[in-house]
Amino acid sequence: MDDSEENLFLRLQDSEGIAEVHDLLGTGSFSFVFRCTVHGLDEPVAVKVLKNKDMLPGRGRESEFIQGLRHPNLVNVLGIFEGDVHYVILELCEGGSLQDVIHRDGLWPTVPLAHRLRAGYDIAAALDFLHQQDILHRDVKSGNAFLLTPLQEGEAIPTVKLGDMGFARPVSDFDMMTQGVGTLRYMAPEVLNSGEYNCQADVFSFGILLHEILSGEIPFGSRNEASLCLLIMGGHRPPEEAIPPDFGDQDRHNQLWAILQACWAEDADERPTAGGAAGLIHGLLC
Ligand SMILES: Nc1ncnc2c1ncn2[C@@H]1O[C@H](COP(=O)(O)OP(=O)(O)OP(=O)(O)O)[C@@H](O)[C@H]1O
């Protein structure tokens, strides 16, 4: 049975290693995330506590192999503890999730397209890094990308970091994976099909996420799971007209649209690598 927020707050407070639990940062399907101070670190951190410590390994739970990874566009995992409560110490991202920033805070329409594209570049760079280490993320979405500092109107977009590695796996574990995990509206057709997939499935999800970042629209709107599956399997993708026209000339807009189409190509082999996508986006930012 899942533990309550209050109970976990108190048990975390008693946990060795935690100096102080401050406040709740957010709630996920599998966890509560608290702002904490921990012994040995000066800066506050985010501590993700599993609601149910008997939960299957990998569900909402960053695995040991993620711990050593360091990249400016990843929510770095600073420690993993298993005891009376299971928790993961994460780099604190004060700006919250990109999903909340795009759809809830009301500031997103004021963010220029070039700044939004910058956010997309950050995520592509993080994915490229993971793929270079032969790690698949498997749940790329706006709810799993975080702003390092709060977004301020009229200022440059803060660094964006890809987080929530609960589903991440080394490719070497399986040459090709077949387990259908992730979030439906971002899922590549080969994952939905329970077919074999590889790093290019992350690139597909990234394409859907990039469109969400640029357009500010929830991918495929408020459809139920069955119709989402039918749409994606039927080759439907988010619409071009949802992308604001304020990106310089038509040629640049066309290049941007071509990047999106390449990322969410039906055939995984036709998609760019994450590094390739990052390079193409960077070319448009210069
Ligand atoms: N590093 C962080 N810094 C600041 N806030 C965070 C951080 N990580 C998570 N949060 C907050 O906690 C919420 C839940 O985190 P997360 O989505 O990683 O949990 P989860 O249990 O894996 O959930 P789900 O599977 O539903 O995405 C986030 O939406 C965000 O508000």
Nearest CA to ligand 1 atom 17: 28
Residues forming beta bridges with residue 74, ordered by sequence position = 162
- Euclidean distance between CA atoms 180 and 176, whole angstroms: 12
**pLDDT higher than 60, residue 150:** yes
Looking at residue 95, its pLDDT comes to 95
> What average pLDDT does the segment 216-233 reach?
89
- Euclidean distance between CA atoms 179 and 107, whole angstroms: 37
**pLDDT higher than 60, residue 77:** yes
pLDDT digits (tens, 9 = 90+) for 22-75: 999 999 888 899 999 999 899 999 999 988 866 644 555 567 778 889 999 999
Ligand 1 pocket by Cβ (under 6 Å) = 25-31, 33, 46, 60, 75, 90-93, 96-97, 143, 146, 163-164, 166
Whole-prediction pTM value?
A: 0.92
Name the band, by pLDDT with cuts 50, 70 and 90, for residue 180: low
DSSP codes joined into one string, 99-152 = HHHHHTSS-GGGS-HHHHHHHHHHHHHHHHHHHHTTEE----SGGGEEESS---
Helical residues (DSSP H) of the chain, grouped into ranges? 5-13, 98-103, 113-132, 189-192, 199-215, 225-233, 250-263, 274-285
Looking at residue 58, its pLDDT comes to 53
DSSP 236: -
Looking at residue 7, its pLDDT comes to 86
Q: Which atom of ligand 1 lies nearest, measured to the CA of 93?
A: 3
